Amino acid sequence: MSETSRMGSGRVFPALPKHPDPGAPFATSWWGNAWIDALEESALDQARLARGRTYAREGAVDTITVAPGRIVAYVHGSRPRPYRAEIRMRTMLPEHWDRFLDVVATDPARIAALLDQEMPHALADAADRADVPLLPGARELAPSCTCPDRGHPCKHAAALAYQTARLLDADPFVLLLLRGGEEQDLLDELARRNARRGAAEAAEARRGP
Distances (CA, A) of 209 to 143, 197, 204, 205: 58, 19, 9, 8
pLDDT digits (tens, 9 = 90+) for 74-84: 999 888 899 99
Count CB-CB contacts under 10 A for residue 56.
25
Count CB-CB contacts under 10 A for residue 81.
9
pLDDT digits (tens, 9 = 90+) for 121-161: 888 999 999 999 999 988 899 999 999 998 899 999 999 99
pLDDT band at 208 (very low <50, low <70, confident <90, very high): low
Higher pLDDT, residue 114 or 31: 31
Question: What pLDDT is recorded for position 47?
Answer: 93
| E-strand stretches of 9-60 | 10-13
pTM summary value? 0.88
